Amino acid sequence: MFDLEVHQLRFRAEVTAPLRLPAARGAALRGALFAALRAQFCLAGGGPDCGRPPAAASCPVCFLLAPVDEGNRRGQDVPRPYVLRVALDGPPAYARGETFEFGFSTFGHVLGVFPYALLGVQEMGQRGLGAGRAGGFQLAEVWAEQPLAGRQERIYRGGRGGDPHVGTPALPVGGADVAAEAALLGARGADRRLRLTLPAPLRLVEGRHLVKPETFQPRVLLARLLDRLDALGARYGGGPTGAGVAALLAHAATMRVIESRLTWRELFRASGRHGALLPMGGLVGDVVLEGDLAPLLPWLVWGSLVHVGKDAAMGNGELRLSVP
């Protein structure tokens, strides 16, 4: 059984200076967090050696935000061990005193750097976020959540009267939980008909071409998901999926799209390294699949936890599963 421990966290903050977020909210959040962590904790000083040996072996910032593996067959950049979630349909601006929330999921043994992520979020609130880094916030609470079981536990409370103690997230999602969720979905009829909802842009490439609403295929989605899970499992978990990829993809090709409300959402993020706006748009909406979905359900449940496609670490490629 493929196994990768996932810890899903929810950060809740109180806005202390008016905050305005760009359309690419996950990218803005990641950039601000990266800057805060690099400034305070990076052993490589945030320079060109960030993420590379020998600094990466002992630097939590390099490991968390800028992992590089020069021997990696997929290229030097490897999948980030986290996913940020910020609702794209949330308000673009927050006034002083309002609540701002975002999700942060870590994979495998990366949980050990959680204290640095917490400190980085606190520093980010003081350094500034959003347009012109003018927005500010104070971290109020952090919750550990087990989304498949519907459980949650507060592990940090800040502000006045807050508990300075930081608890260890103890609601992991693992292979057994994913198998149980897939079985539950199947018992509800998702093994024959399943709705996939894409709340954030899903950016897939097939044959060097972007997958658009009219060219969406379940096989392509599954191929990219299995590739991502292999990479995450090999680096942060117990190993690759061990799945019979060819057989699974052939089976996925038999699935029928019987309803589609997919559209293309254009989205760009600012890149300081490239000095330009980079595209990160993709598919949003929902599709209903029909066929023998039972062999695919466990992998799609994993997809709902780790995201899939380009810019997944910044919140793209989120999947939600339901029975139509």
CA dihedral over 238, 149, 151, 304, signed as positive or negative = positive
Strands of 18-80 (E only): list them.
19-20
Query: Is the pLDDT score of 62 beyond 60?
Result: yes
- DSSP for 283-317, written as a single string: EEEEEEEES--TTTHHHHHHHHHH--STTGGGTTT
pLDDT digits (tens, 9 = 90+) for 282-312: 999 999 999 999 999 999 999 999 999 999 9
Mean pLDDT, residues 97-106 taken together = 94
Class of domain 6-157: alpha beta
- In Å, the largest CA–CA distance within the chain is 57
Among 68-72, 99-103, 154-158, 257-261, the range scoring the smallest mean pLDDT is 68-72
The residue assigned the tokens 């496609």 is 309
Determine the pLDDT at residue 77.
Answer: 58
Structure tokens at 283: 């598919």
250 burial (CB, 10 Å; 0-12 / 13-18 / 19+) is exposed
Listed in sequence order, the residues at least 6 apart from 21 whose beta carbon sits closer than 8 Å to its beta carbon are 28, 86, 92, 93, 129, 130, 131, 135
CATH 3.30.70.1900 in the chain, residues?
175-322
The pTM (predicted TM-score) of the whole model is 0.92
Class of the CATH domain delimited by 175-322: alpha beta
- Provide the residue count of the chain: 324
Rounded to the nearest 10°, the torsion over CA 134, 120, 143, 158 is -70
